[in-house]
């Protein structure tokens, strides 16, 4: 029997994407023989309504001193976090005396640096040493550790309770401990903001590449209410966000501390009565759609190859690892992937071992088709790469999300 990671009840398999490496595990050729794999399989719990991975890889495999994701590499995400920080200051912190802000999964400090600049007390919690060091260099106070109820107590003892706790796109495998830690660390009238890719968008757009090791759970309002409700934290407001192909920002507080807004009842109606995200059948259909998309994408790339077209990958995203390994597409179909992140360049993609080449401004000169793995940044990229399409180049989307 497989147990739900949230409520411990029995959970059913929805889909297995097969043997999968760590999504951000870009590697050198000499390390191919010791690559780590786990089975990427998902289930949906009908009790707590949480869509989740059934097998968790060891978290030290994911977050370490070689972690390959830097928030600041995306201009779009940097802007998003600046708007988020300013929103916190203007709407939630302006009335507080000497406020204290905590961010979990603070990465390179892209969000918190806006508090540093303004002299607002803050602390970032980041498990990966290399990104935490960059944050510290930028003047962002950062503690390198995993967050749980024990760390929450330590923070409280050193800094006091938090007026605001922010968590964006951080996917914890120990949700129960995290929820307990947040309830402990949050002031009585404090605000906890939780933002991540929204299950409604993943299901509707068949964006199965949002499913990878770091995304242990893909949340909706039902599951967020259940998980934090166990610690007497309540969702009092929600806002949709465009990031990551469609995200949801949940505002939570200690029960009754803030008035519940209509946005919450509206989203609940949407989830349960319109999108039917509380029902198993929706997830069974999703599994069939994933399989169909895989077949279509592989058929398209084989056809392009037979026609002698030159195809490359654009942006070696974490998401691409799920697509490439699930579809079984390696260098024979996609000879290389261009990427702007120095730590990935010269390495190989996890599992399928496609060479990652440094992005250059004329990358597209001999390219007929580019498969866009960073489809969540499509607008930014299409604008930047207008020369590619002007020269007759064609974009292929790795999932059907934008078609």
Binding site for Zn ion (CB under 5 A): 4, 6-7, 45, 47-48
Contact 263, 238 (CB under 8 A): yes
| Axis-axis angle for helices 149-159, 175-185 (nearest 10) | 20
267 touching ligand TMP, by CB under 6 A: no
Q: Please give the biggest Cα pair distance in the chain.
A: 66
10 Å CB burial of residue 288 (0-12, 13-18, 19+) is exposed
Q: Distance between CA 283 and CA 205 in Å, rounded?
A: 13
Strands lying side by side in the sheet with 12-21 = 12-21, 37-44, 51-53, 217-218
Shortest Cβ distance from residue 245 to ligand TMP (Å)? 10
CB-nearer residue toward Zn ion: 47 or 260: 47
Q: Distance between CA 280 and CA 341 in Å, rounded?
A: 39
Q: Distance between CA 78 and CA 399 in Å, rounded?
A: 24
Q: Distance between CA 46 and CA 249 in Å, rounded?
A: 23
10 Å CB burial of residue 383 (0-12, 13-18, 19+) is exposed
Residues 326-365 vs ligand TMP: string with x where CB under 6 A? -------------xxx--x--------------x------
Query: What, of ligand TMP, Zn ion, none, does residue 141 touch, CB below 5 to 8 Å by kind?
Result: none
Shortest Cβ distance from residue 272 to Zn ion (Å)? 16
Here the tokens at position 372 are: 């866009």
Query: What, of Zn ion, ligand TMP, none, does residue 5 touch, CB below 5 to 8 Å by kind?
Result: none
Contact 227, 179 (CB under 8 A): yes
Residues 40-69 that bind ligand TMP (CB under 6 A): 69
- Among 319, 293, 326, 295, smallest CA distance to 400 is for 293
Query: What, of Zn ion, ligand TMP, none, does residue 135 touch, CB below 5 to 8 Å by kind?
Result: none
Shortest Cβ distance from residue 181 to Zn ion (Å)? 20
Residues 276-315 vs ligand TMP: string with x where CB under 6 A? ---------------------------------------x
Shortest Cβ distance from residue 15 to Zn ion (Å)? 18
Shortest Cβ distance from residue 45 to Zn ion (Å)? 3
108 touching ligand TMP, by CB under 6 A: no
Stretch that binds ligand TMP, among 191-199, 275-283, 347-355, 377-385 (CB under 6 A): 377-385
CB-nearer residue toward ligand TMP: 56 or 340: 340
Residues forming the site for ligand TMP (CB under 6 A): 69, 73-74, 315-319, 339-341, 344, 359, 374, 377, 380-381
């Amino acid at each position: 029997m497989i147990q739900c990671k949230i409520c411990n009840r029995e959970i059913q398999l929805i889909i297995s994407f097969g043997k999968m490496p760590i999504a951000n595990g870009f590697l050198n050729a000499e390390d191919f023989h010791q690559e780590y794999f786990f089975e990427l399989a998902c289930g949906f719990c009908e009790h707590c309504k949480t869509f989740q991975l059934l097998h968790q890889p060891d978290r030290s495999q994911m977050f370490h001193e070689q972690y390959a994701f830097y928030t600041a590499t995306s201009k779009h995400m940097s802007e998003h976090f600046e708007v988020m920080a300013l929103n916190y200051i203007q709407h939630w912190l302006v009335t507080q005396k000497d406020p204290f802000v905590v961010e979990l999964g603070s990465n390179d400090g892209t969000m918190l640096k806006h508090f540093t600049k303004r002299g607002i007390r803050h602390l970032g919690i980041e498990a990966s040493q290399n990104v935490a060091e960059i944050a510290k260099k930028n003047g962002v106070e950062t503690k390198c550790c995993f967050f749980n109820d024990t760390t929450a107590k330590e923070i409280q003892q050193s800094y006091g309770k938090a007026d605001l706790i922010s968590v964006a796109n951080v996917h914890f495998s120990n949700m129960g401990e995290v929820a307990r830690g947040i309830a402990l660390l949050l002031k009585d009238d404090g605000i906890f903001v939780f933002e991540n890719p929204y299950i409604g968008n993943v299901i509707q757009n068949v964006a199965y590449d949002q499913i990878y090791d770091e995304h242990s759970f893909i949340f909706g309002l039902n599951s967020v209410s259940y998980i934090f409700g166990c610690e007497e934290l309540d969702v009092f407001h929600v806002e949709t966000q465009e990031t990551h192909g469609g995200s949801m920002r949940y505002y939570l507080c200690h029960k009754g501390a803030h008035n519940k807004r209509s946005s919450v009842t509206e989203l609940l109606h949407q989830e349960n009565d319109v999108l039917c995200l509380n029902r198993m059948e929706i997830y069974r259909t999703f599994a069939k759609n994933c399989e169909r998309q895989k077949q279509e994408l592989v058929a398209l790339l084989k056809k392009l190859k037979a026609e002698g077209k030159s195809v490359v990958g654009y942006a070696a995203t974490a998401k691409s690892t799920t697509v490439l390994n699930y579809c079984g597409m390696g260098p024979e179909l996609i000879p290389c992937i261009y990427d702007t992140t120095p730590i990935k360049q010269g390495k190989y993609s996890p599992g399928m071992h496609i060479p990652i080449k440094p992005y250059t401004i004329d990358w597209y000169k001999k390219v007929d088709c580019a498969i866009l793995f960073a489809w969540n940044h499509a607008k930014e990229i299409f604008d930047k790469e207008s020369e590619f399409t002007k020269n007759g180049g064609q974009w292929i989307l790795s999932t059907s999300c934008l078609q």
